[in-house]
Structure 1
Amino acid sequence: MVIDLHNHTPLCNHAHGSIEMYVQKAIEKKIDVFGFSDHAPMHFDEAYRMSFLQMDAYEQEVLHVKEKYHDTIDVLLAYEVDFLKGYIDERVLSRRVDYFIGSVHFLDEWGFDNPTFIGEYQNKNIDEIWEGYFEAIEAMAKQNLFDIVGHLDLIKIFNFLPKKEIRTIATPAIKAIKKANMCIELNAAGFRKPIQEQYPSGSLMELIAEHDIPITFGSDAHALEHIGFCYDEIKSIATHYGYKKCAMFQQRERKMVNF
């Protein structure tokens, strides 16, 4: 099966193309399971996400295309939730969805993956940045709120890499993810960014496989041309590290399927 669980909509204000157009493109790409996981609302960085008042419309439209195209494709409903202390909102976590992706996009309210704020990398120690990021991933896992870890090593987006061994930095977070029974996505968006590789990197994929953590796939689409982006590449990477199955979800229940 072809699985793609990380995809956005225009409601996040930085994606283009209608929900129905995304589904039609996914069908064209022969995707079997297509998940909408748009940025959940929160009272921070509100320009890059839907509002709380838009949640019902988002869910209704996704459920509409799910029913309309049910004979051709399995459409899933989800949110990508930013893990940021003080901003996690029960109004999001109480929604009836198929899964939640937990992601870290901010360190002490610094949007480290936003090109507008790239200069901040010059003001900090790169090892400390990486350590702080994976400490946030570890803390997120320990909350036991989410089903999937989004783009595990997003902190590498601009190719600022630590001097310390990445596996050493990431191991406590990986152990916490394993204990929380979460899965980790292979996210193709990194191929579209300066780092020019998937999330997670090969060294982290090795660590993930060693801990027998389940995986899934996501193109992180913000435009029609992103749907199914580099799927063959991330599938090949998963196979290289010994994976034969990936996760899909229905009403927060994980199911492992062959890919």
Structure 2
Amino acid sequence: MVVDIHNHTKLCNHAEGEIAEYIEKAIECGIKYFGFSEHAPMNFDEKYRISFAQMQEYEKSVLDAKEKYKDKIEILLGYEVDYLRGYMDERVLNADVDYLIGSIHFIEEWGFDNPEFIGNYKDQNIDEIWQKYFNAIEEMAKSRLFDIVGHLDLIKIFKYMPTKNIKEIAKNALLAIKEAGMSVEINVAGFRKPIGEAYPSMSLLNEIKKLNIPITFASDAHKPEQVGLYSDEAIEMAKSAGYSECVFYRNRKKHFIKF
């Protein structure tokens, strides 16, 4: 991958390794544009994200690394923000960063991708869960607050698949993403999860290409050794869908690059 802009640091409390270790691994993998997008603070689920008090530390650490490694790789600064009504904060939404990733990790405050709460699937209609998830994606896109859609079909993480056509479930969300001018990441973290495939699926990626929605790439690394894993698979997916370029962001502006 030439671009890899969704990665974490140990500040989020569920990742490990030093910022320099992630960057050294990225350089080793031939990545040219490498971004950190830490789980942004909010007054909910604080266990799995940085605090508001840590924002300055996080941003300074990444910017210091940007300067240190400027002759070897371009380091980008972002946040991964949970789109959850009532909890998003202007301090994050107005942060001086290169990009914001909008992600859905909660359906009505249920952390559906957290193994701690996997039992909740048993008590709900799986088609309704999937539709609620993509309704939230649609709402997030319409908010016009974010640049990138994080792990588009994360709801598949534990292989609880709907009976309805996924393309139909996701249709309105994809149209909203297109209208908002957002990009969608090919996020390889799914290869490390029970679903065993990237986010989004190849089927959805083909629909994304039909709408000419830009893509970017993401290791979603929580350990240095995860940087660049499955990059060949991600590039092959993109090429199979008909893509030859991806985007990265500086100061909330898109830049296209061939891969």
How much has 1:92 moved relative to structure 2?
0.4
Amino acid at match of 1:134: F
Moved >6 Å (runs of 4+): none
How much has 1:225 moved relative to structure 2?
1.2
- Number of corresponding residues: 259
Residue 233 of structure 1 is matched in structure 2 by 233
Residue 78 of structure 2 is matched in structure 1 by 78
Report 1:116-155 matches (<5 A): 116-155=116-155
CA distance in 1, matches of 2:23, 2:201: 29
Residue 198 of structure 1 is matched in structure 2 by 198
Residue 88 of structure 1 is matched in structure 2 by 88
CA distance in 2, matches of 1:113, 1:151: 11
Report 1:18-97 matches (<5 A): 18-97=18-97
CA distance in 2, matches of 1:221, 1:132: 27
CA distance in 2, matches of 1:138, 1:72: 38
TM-score w.r.t. the length of structure 1 is 0.99
For structure 1, the residue ranges without an aligned partner over 5 or more in a row are none
How much has 1:29 moved relative to structure 2?
1.4
Residue 208 of structure 2 is matched in structure 1 by 208
Percent identity of paired positions between Structure 1 and Structure 2: 59
How much has 1:218 moved relative to structure 2?
0.2
CA distance in 1, matches of 2:224, 2:207: 32
CA distance in 1, matches of 2:225, 2:10: 14
How much has 1:124 moved relative to structure 2?
0.1
CA distance in 2, matches of 1:21, 1:245: 27
CA distance in 1, matches of 2:18, 2:203: 36
Deviations 1:96-126 (A, max 9, x none): 0000000000001000000010000000000
Deviations 1:134-162 (A, max 9, x none): 00000000000000000000000000000
TM-score w.r.t. the length of structure 2 is 0.99
Residue 115 of structure 1 is matched in structure 2 by 115
Query: More deviation in 141-150 or 22-31?
Result: 22-31
Q: Give yes or no for the alignment of 1:12 onto 2:12.
A: yes
1:66 is paired with a residue of what secondary structure? Answer: helix
How much has 1:28 moved relative to structure 2?
1.4
CA distance in 1, matches of 2:241, 2:196: 19
CA distance in 2, matches of 1:222, 1:14: 7
Deviations 1:196-234 (A, max 9, x none): 000000110111011110000000000011101101100
Amino acid at match of 1:121: Y
How much has 1:184 moved relative to structure 2?
0.1
2:151 is paired with a residue of what secondary structure? Answer: coil
Residue 163 of structure 2 is matched in structure 1 by 163
Residue 258 of structure 1 is matched in structure 2 by 258
Amino acid at match of 1:27: I
CA distance in 2, matches of 1:85, 1:40: 14
Amino acid at match of 2:19: I
2:233 is paired with a residue of what secondary structure? Answer: helix
Amino acid at match of 1:54: Q
2:195 is paired with a residue of what secondary structure? Answer: coil
CA distance in 1, matches of 2:30, 2:212: 28
2:197 is paired with a residue of what secondary structure? Answer: coil
How much has 1:166 moved relative to structure 2?
0.1
How much has 1:20 moved relative to structure 2?
1.3
CA distance in 1, matches of 2:129, 2:191: 22
CA distance in 2, matches of 1:13, 1:175: 35
CA distance in 2, matches of 1:54, 1:149: 24
